[in-house]
């Protein structure tokens, strides 16, 4: 029998793409002519003991008021196991009031329609079921998050029974036998569980012997040196292993040649599962395993092959993603017949560069066909990428490694295969008529058509994707936040969000304080009533109801000041204009991108917010505004030095300083001139002085080379000054004319002149605010007031003992 059809590659799914959950449709359907059909899983009925008790009482004509004891005491549908209960007894009735101490007595007693409810304890037991349920009334065993079977022989055995449901099975440290051992059983449903083998265990973790009509879902089977993860023997048929993870922590090539999932019986299905590690194949299909479906699985790194068909007939290998296996990604051996290899994505298999590969072994290929299997195997609609030499050895034809083009010539197959590493090459290009094709992907998402791409696939759904995951075309949310501590606001900009298959029509902003705003615009602002740390999120949606979300934590802290940082080292202001741009002391004047909010971070610490970026400063090799929230990494100590400068110590680990490129770093262990900054309150920057003596503006004349004099009718650069906060009520006057400090020269004997590179005793002043709104400057060095001498005709000098009209100035902005 020669099978046609196509195959699909795996595509990365964007976070928050609005994928639907649930069980994949069609996974229990027969994939096509000549393929087996599987019966539906048995239904599981859970009964509520309290409801059952009340119903019985009502039927008996009793009064609800007569319920003096818990309903469970009269309820036989649930048998409770509570190891930690002081009232537990292994000879009691298993009520909630008097539960069993061990699991075995409950399992020995449980019958059809009853549930064993296990909690509160670590049970060193190997539990064997003695009774069976029915399709409509199975026996159910449920373990919660506080219960665990643990020990060298721990585990669950079903031998010769049927219609049993195991939920949330948890087993650890098993060494001597499988954690889950199903023998000659049918109608078994295992729904979720964690099975962790002890370090000395060789496996298998899960063993199925002569099992029929059963389902294993959402299991984790894990161990270090496992021979096998999950095994289905030659007499096991009609079993679906779905959404299960088999994980061996040992990837290196060992003698045991362990297999992740081994199938030796016919008519079984492996769906939506993940296999990592194992020194043999990840999934191996034996000679007697006819009509096996291996679909939507993720196969990852390990020393052996990815999917190995060892002589089986009519195997469907469909829509899997196989990567980083040391041998062939998919290998179909001699005596295998009518195998279909379609819609798979394979990447970097058959290489020896990984540390866990046997460096002396012959390299493999992405897809290899051997012996008589070459006559009837269908290979098509796969994406392969052989990263070491993609043009020469991605395929193996009966042992000869070759390129895709050569494989087409030799085999007549792979007409629609693609040699590509790009995920978008997997979209809308699979063969939905391929045997084993599932109408949903490994996550349960229905197939989605990208309207921007041509449908190059085949079958009834020509827009299906190759690989294990369907790209859904949902929008990808992205957001930037900008904080304003003065207004206690955040502005969220989601305009960089990416639309899916349809345009974004809705933006829902959740500001973390109970306020949610939904609108059709991508930018929204919000005012917070109180300071604190909040989680802000945005959900973007299209007209197809697919959505994506993004979130950030933000800190709205109490602002204590807004300042500029003037470096003592180079007399330039520190500035950064955007998120992620390193702060550098390279600005001659205090501009908008050099304004920083100081914020109370608690415990005597501060945070520093760049107002232009709306982000807090953080040390990331250099100081830059990049964080919307404050943690230890965004906290600083503010230190006032004896000379009036300030220093910042980042998280107690290093002082912020200016390096040779003028960038701010936090590496210094002590404070030197590079780590000192003059604090300029933003309100005191870029000021002018108009003399009361003559109504003229004070100028640092001749670009600061001449003494200050009040002789200008307008304000230019020479007439502008920054008032530097030196602490203790003192200030320095920094002239824009030449970026020098104003000095009461010669101890105040000479006129004021802007010629100093730093502040000493002669450069310190006190600003006096007069009752009439004017100000006066008092030189610290001689305690005299600065005057516009001779009615402003002479340079300014600090030689007056009292304030008169000539000593008054109007401070302008």
Between CA 247 and CA 261 the distance in angstroms is 10
Per-residue burial over 666-684, b if 16 or more Cβ lie within 10 Å, else e, is bebeebeebbbbbbbbbeb
Between CA 338 and CA 499 the distance in angstroms is 42
CB 511 within 8 A of CB 526: yes
CB 476 within 8 A of CB 497: yes
Residue 723 binned pLDDT confidence (cut-offs 50, 70, 90): very high
Q: Which of 19, 4, 5 is nearest to 441 (CA)?
A: 19
Between CA 394 and CA 651 the distance in angstroms is 53
- Candidates 3.40.50.300, 2.60.40.10, 3.40.50.720, 2.40.50.140; correct CATH number of 480-553? 2.60.40.10
Domain with CATH 2.80.10.50 in the chain: 558-682, 686-812
CB 141 within 8 A of CB 164: yes
Residue that is written with structure tokens 């049970």 in the block: 123
Between CA 426 and CA 446 the distance in angstroms is 16
Q: Which of 270-279, 361-370, 383-392 has the lowest mean pLDDT?
A: 383-392
Q: Is the pLDDT of residue 426 over 90?
A: yes
CB 321 within 8 A of CB 337: no
CB 278 within 8 A of CB 302: yes
Q: What is the DSSP string of 749-775?
A: TSPEEEEESS--GGG-EEEEEPTTS-E
Residue that is written with structure tokens 């409509």 in the block: 136
- Lookup: tokens for 240: 């679906």
Peptide bond into 204 cis (omega under 30): yes
Neighbours of 405 (CB within 10 A): 12
Mean pLDDT of 712-720: 97
Q: What is the DSSP string of 657-684?
A: EE-TTSBEEEEESS--GGG-EEEEEGGG
Strand order in the sheet with 516-519: 516-519, 504-510, 532-542, 547-556
Q: Is the pLDDT of residue 12 over 70?
A: no
Q: List Cα–Cα distances, 698 to 150, 713, 718, 735, 746, in angstroms.
A: 86, 9, 8, 11, 20
- Predicted pLDDT at 74: 36
Mean pLDDT of 394-409: 94
Q: Quick: pLDDT tens for 140-158.
A: 999 998 999 999 999 999 9
Residue 389 binned pLDDT confidence (cut-offs 50, 70, 90): low
Residue that is written with structure tokens 């741009």 in the block: 581
Q: List Cα–Cα distances, 569 to 146, 685, 688, 760, in angstroms.
A: 62, 19, 25, 15
In sequence order, the 6+-apart residues with CB closer than 8 A to the CB of 603 are: none
Q: Quick: pLDDT tens for 191-223.
A: 999 999 998 887 799 999 999 999 999 999 998
Percent helix, percent strand, percent coil in the chain, to nearest 5 = 10, 40, 50
- Predicted pLDDT at 256: 53
Domain with CATH 2.60.40.10 in the chain: 480-553
CATH code, residues 558-682 = 2.80.10.50
Per-residue burial over 268-295, b if 16 or more Cβ lie within 10 Å, else e, is bbbbbbbbbbbbbbbbbbbebbbbbbbb
Q: Is the pLDDT of residue 67 over 50?
A: no
CATH code, residues 686-812 = 2.80.10.50
Q: Is the pLDDT of residue 524 over 90?
A: yes
Q: List Cα–Cα distances, 772 to 778, 792, 804, 812, in angstroms.
A: 17, 20, 12, 15
What's 42's DSSP letter?
A: P
């Amino acid at each position: 029998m020669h099978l046609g059809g196509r195959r699909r590659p795996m595509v990365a799914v964007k976070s928050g793409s609005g994928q639907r959950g649930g069980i994949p449709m069609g996974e229990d359907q027969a994939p096509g002519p000549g393929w087996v059909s599987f019966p539906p899983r048995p239904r599981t009925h859970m009964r509520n003991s309290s409801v059952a008790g009340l119903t019985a009482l009502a039927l008996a004509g009793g009064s609800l008021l007569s319920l003096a004891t818990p309903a469970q005491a009269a309820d036989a549908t649930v048998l409770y196991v509570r190891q930690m209960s002081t009232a537990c007894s292994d000879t009691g009735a298993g009520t909630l009031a008097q539960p069993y101490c061990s699991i075995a007595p409950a399992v020995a007693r449980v019958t059809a329609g009853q549930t064993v409810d296990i909690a509160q304890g670590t049970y060193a037991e190997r539990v064997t079921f003695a009774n069976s349920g029915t399709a409509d009334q199975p026996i159910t065993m449920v373990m919660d998050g506080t219960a665990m079977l643990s020990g060298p022989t721990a585990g669950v055995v079903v031998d010769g029974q049927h219609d049993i449901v195991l939920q949330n099975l948890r087993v650890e440290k098993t060494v001597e036998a499988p954690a889950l051992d199903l023998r000659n059983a049918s109608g078994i449903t295992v729904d979720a569980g964690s099975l962790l083998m002890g370090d000395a265990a060789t496996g298998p973790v899960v063993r199925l012997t002569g099992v029929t009509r059963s389902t294993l879902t959402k299991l984790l089977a894990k161990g270090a040196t496992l021979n096998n993860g999950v095994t289905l023997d030659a007499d096991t048929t009609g079993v679906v292993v779905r959404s299960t993870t088999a994980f061996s922590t040992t990837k290196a090539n060992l003698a045991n040649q362990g297999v992740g999932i081994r199938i030796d019986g016919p008519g079984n299905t492996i769906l939506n599962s993940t296999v990592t590690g194992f020194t043999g194949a990840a999934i191996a299909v034996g000679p007697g395993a006819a009509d096996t479906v291996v679909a939507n699985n993720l196969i990852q790194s390990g020393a052996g092959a990815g999917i190995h068909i060892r002589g089986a007939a009519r195997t469907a290998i469909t829509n899997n993603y196989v990567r980083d296996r040391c041998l062939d990604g998919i290998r179909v051996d001699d005596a295998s017949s009518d195998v279909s290899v379609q819609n798979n994505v394979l990447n970097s298999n058959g290489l020896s560069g990984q540390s866990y590969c046997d460096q002396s072994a012959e390299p493999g290929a992405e897809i290899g066909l051997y012996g008589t299997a070459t006559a009837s195997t269908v290979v098509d609609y796969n994406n392969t990428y052989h990263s070491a030499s993609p043009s020469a050895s991605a395929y193996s034809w009966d042992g000869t490694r070759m390129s895709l083009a050569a494989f087409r010539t030799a085999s007549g197959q792979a007409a629609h295969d693609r040699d590509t590493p790009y995920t978008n090459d997997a979209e809308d290009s699979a063969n939905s008529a391929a045997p084993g094709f599932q109408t949903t992907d490994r996550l349960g998402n229905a197939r989605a058509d990208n309207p921007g791409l041509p449908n190059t696939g085949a079958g009834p759904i020509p827009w299906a994707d190759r690989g294990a995951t369907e790209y859904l075309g949902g929008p990808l949310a992205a957001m930037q936040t900008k904080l304003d501590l003065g207004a206690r606001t955040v502005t969220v900009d989601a305009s960089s969000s990416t639309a899916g298959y349809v345009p974004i029509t809705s933006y829902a902003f959740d500001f973390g304080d109970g306020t949610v705003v939904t609108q059709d615009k991508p930018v929204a602002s919000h005012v917070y009533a109180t300071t604190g740390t909040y989680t802000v999120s945005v959900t973007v949606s299209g007209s197809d109801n697919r959505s994506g979300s993004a979130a950030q934590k933000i800190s709205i802290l109490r602002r204590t000041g807004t300042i500029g940082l003037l470096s003592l080292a180079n007399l330039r202001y520190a500035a950064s204009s955007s998120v992620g741009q390193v702060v550098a002391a390279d600005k001659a004047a205090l501009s908008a991108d050099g304004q920083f909010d100081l914020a109370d971070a608690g415990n005597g610490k501060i945070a520093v917010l760049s107002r232009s970026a709306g982000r807090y400063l953080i040390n990331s090799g250099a100081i830059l505004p990049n964080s919307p929230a404050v943690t230890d990494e965004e906290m600083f100590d503010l230190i006032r030095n004896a000379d009036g400068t300030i220093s910042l110590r980042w998280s107690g680990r290093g002082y912020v300083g200016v390096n040779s490129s003028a960038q701010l770093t936090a590496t210094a262990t002590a404070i030197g001139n590079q780590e000192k900054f003059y604090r300029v309150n933003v309100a005191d920057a870029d000021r002018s002085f108009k003399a009361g003596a003559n109504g003229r503006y004070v100028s640092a004349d001749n670009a600061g080379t001449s003494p200050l004099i009040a002789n200008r009718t307008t304000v230019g650069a020479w007439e502008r000054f920054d008032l530097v906060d030196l602490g203790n009520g003192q200030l320095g006057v920094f002239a824009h004319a030449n970026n020098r400090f104003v000095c009461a020269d010669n101890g105040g004997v000479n006129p004021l002149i802007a010629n100093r590179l730093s502040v000493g005793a002669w450069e310190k002043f006190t600003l006096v605010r007069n009752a009439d709104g004017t100000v006066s400057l008092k030189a610290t060095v001689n305690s005299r007031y600065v005057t516009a001498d001779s009615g402003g005709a002479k340079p300014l000098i600090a030689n007056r003992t009292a304030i008169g009209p000539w000593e008054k100035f109007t401070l302008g902005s």
